[in-house]
Amino acid sequence: MGLVLVLRPWEGLGDMGASLLALLSGASWGLGAVLSKIMFDRYKPNILNLTVWQLLLGAAITLPLAYLIPQREIVFGVPLYVGLAYMALLASGLGWLLWLSVIQRVSTTVAGMSSLGVPVLAIMLAWAILGEEPGGFDLAGVGLVVMGLVVINWPSRKRR
C-alpha cells in the first residue's frame, strides 16, 4: 500500500506498456531472487563466481540489443571509461555481490521486503540533496513502507 501511495497510479503517469514492462521487470527480479536462494541452498556456489556469471549472462543477453536500438555515436574518452567502470564495477558488480550476499544469508521474504527501503531512501535523498519536498501521499507511503519493513523484520516470538 505504501508503494501505491508513492507511485500514485491514479495520476496517470506513464502508459500501459511502461507499466507492464515494470511489472514484468519486478516479476523477473523476484524469480531471480528465489532461484538464487535455491542455488545457494542446493549447490553452495562461491558468491563471487555466481555474481560474475550472472553479469556475463546479462551482458550476453543485452549486448545484441545495443546494436538493434538506435542511439547516438559513441564518443571514446575519459568520461566514457569512467562511466563504464562505475556501472560495471560499482553499480552492477558490487551491487549484485551485496544483493546475493543478502539472499544467501536471510530468507527470500525478508530480502525482498527489505529492498522496499530503496524507494524510501530515494525519496529522502531527493529531499535532502535536491530539495524535492515530498507531498502528503509520499510521506504516508514512506510511513507505510517503513512500518511494513519493521513488521517483516521484527524478531518473531517463540510460542510456548
Residue 160 belongs to a domain: no
Residue 36 belongs to a domain: yes
Q: Which residues contact 74 (CB under 8 A, 6 or more apart)?
A: 80
* Predicted local confidence at residue 75, as pLDDT: 93
* Predicted local confidence at residue 158, as pLDDT: 53
Residue 118 belongs to a domain: yes
Residue 112 belongs to a domain: yes
Residue 128 belongs to a domain: yes
* Predicted local confidence at residue 46, as pLDDT: 94
CA angle 71, 25, 120 (to 5 degrees): 100
* Predicted local confidence at residue 160, as pLDDT: 47
Owning domain of residue 88 = 2-152
Residue 16 belongs to a domain: yes
Q: Give the number of domains in the chain.
A: 1
Q: What span, in angstroms and rounded, lies between the C-alpha atoms of 90 and 84?
A: 10
Mean pLDDT in the chain?
88
Q: What span, in angstroms and rounded, lies between the C-alpha atoms of 40 and 21?
A: 28
The three cell numbers of residue 11 are 495520476
**pLDDT (tens place) for every residue of the chain, 160 residues total:** 887 888 787 887 777 787 788 878 888 988 989 999 999 999 999 999 999 998 999 899 988 988 898 888 889 999 999 999 999 999 999 999 999 999 999 888 888 878 888 889 999 999 999 999 999 999 999 999 899 888 877 777 555 4
Residue 19 belongs to a domain: yes
* Predicted local confidence at residue 110, as pLDDT: 82
Q: In the block, which residue shows the cell 566514457?
A: 80
Residue 32 belongs to a domain: yes
Count the neighbouring beta carbons within 10 Å of the beta carbon of residue 153.
Answer: 11
